[in-house]
Structure 1
């Protein structure tokens, strides 16, 4: 009897460890992708901003400043748009990862529920 309990416990422990490993893999992949997206957006924004600052540094008269000013507004607008697009992409990827994790958890609960139901049915038939 103890052997059967030990085997069931070992099997449940293995299944839990496998499920945890799957969930951790999904979470780490998502975090890596999100970090990469945000880093790329930050790099693009910084590059555009520093290029604009380079142009501003070359300005020597108010007339030249008037021509550079719209470029600065354009750079700012593009940076904001890039940030919003990156944020939306991050949210979408995170939702997909969470849905995949939820499906794994749901499958595990359903599998355990069927095992328990079978064991209860066997126990009630034997008595």
Structure 2
């Protein structure tokens, strides 16, 4: 009886460790994707801003300022749009990761429940047989 209990505890521990390992892998993959997306967008915006600042430093009169003003507005608009789209993309990745993690938990709980139910049934049968 004790040996059977120890085997069950070992099986549950292994199942939990496997699920945790899978969850960690999914979380790390998601973190890597998000970091990559954010790094690319940061690089893109930094290059655009540097180009604008370089051009703005060459302005020497009011006419030059009038010519560069729309470029500054366009840069700000594009930066805001890129930030919004990046946020949406990151949110989508987070949702997919959450779904994958919940699926792991659901599968693990279902397997554990099935195992426990079979053990309860075997104990009931053993108790019924012992009572006769």
- Give the drift of 1:11: 1.2
1:88 corresponding residue in structure 2? 88
Per-residue Cα deviation, 1:25-65 (whole angstroms, up to 9, x for no partner):
00011011111111111111111011000000111111011
1:120 corresponding residue in structure 2? 120
- Runs of 4+ with >3 A deviation: none
- Give the drift of 1:2: 2.0
2:45 corresponding residue in structure 1? 45
Report the 3-state secondary structure (helix = DSSP H, G, I; strand = E; otherwise coil) of the residue aligned with 1:59.
coil
Question: Which sits farther off after the overlay, 86-95 or 117-126?
Answer: 117-126
Q: Could you tell me which runs of 5 or more consecutive residues in structure 2 were left unpaired when the two chains were aligned.
A: 128-132
2:73 corresponding residue in structure 1? 73
Aligned residues: 127
2:55 corresponding residue in structure 1? 55
TM-score, normalised via structure 1 length: 0.96
Structure 1 vs Structure 2 CA RMSD = 0.8
Distance 1:68 1:16 in 2: 60
Question: Which sits farther off after the overlay, 83-92 or 32-41?
Answer: 32-41
Higher-Rg structure is 2
Q: Could you tell me which runs of 5 or more consecutive residues in structure 1 were left unpaired when the two chains were aligned.
A: none
TM-score, normalised via structure 2 length: 0.93
